Structure 1
């Protein structure tokens, strides 16, 4: 008697969730710090944003390396299209985050301004989009038992 068991899972492993949690939390927090700085002109908000961005960038760099490894050796072999999109989004997010870190390293009002705020928005949107790509749908596998 043959039965087909159906398994649903994402194309990324659980370590992606751990690493992706940092950019998903820290980039929006940096965006809020930028908005607070633009509304109050208290310089400490730019310091907060700079540290939040630095933490998100470290995790995003590790996540990018893991995503590339997963493409060749992990579950992503079964969903290459989504895996390439995921890597592209993570790569652009990491690059924008590094630019954002350089922007926030500037002095005073110039550290945020229009460009810093725009980069924070881009990083936030890309982090959320990467999470949606990775965990928004599942791979369906049928296994004969």
Structure 2
């Protein structure tokens, strides 16, 4: 049961930090040119999708210990992790494009 409680707090902390990063990303997008803005739009859409899936995952993890993890919690955590990797790569490649 304690691991489920830890996971809820970690998910909530991750969502909070993602919102802080989104604010910085919005400001950064407004300061760069049009080419990078088009490239970062897919990154932004996927980031919003990650936030939605993570919030649903947090609500799922806040239930009873066993039902919060198996199978829905694990599936949502895996989907979130894959989306974070894809979104991170898109953000990195857009940032490299701006720097070049």
Structure 1 residue ranges (4+ consecutive) displaced by more than 4 angstroms after TM superposition: none
Consecutive unaligned residues of structure 2, counting only runs of 5 or more, are none
Match of 1:91 in 2: 48
Verify: 1:55 aligned to 2:49, yes or no: no
Task: Compute the displacement of 1:76 (Å).
Answer: 5.5
Structure with the higher fraction of residues in strand conformation: 1
**1:104 equivalent among 61, 68, 73:** 61
TM-score (norm 2): 0.83
RMSD, matched Cα: 2.1
- Matched pairs, number: 99
Consecutive unaligned residues of structure 1, counting only runs of 5 or more, are 1-42
What is the CA–CA distance in structure 1 between the aligned matches of 2:99 and 2:86, rounded to whole Å? 24
Q: Superposed, which structure 2 residues align to 1:1-145 within 5 Å?
A: 43-71=1-29, 73-75=30-32, 77-136=34-93, 138-139=96-97
Would the aligned equivalents of 1:76 and 1:83 in 2 still touch at CA under 8 Å?
no
Match of 1:3 in 2: none
TM-score (norm 1): 0.60
Structure with the higher fraction of residues in helix conformation: 2
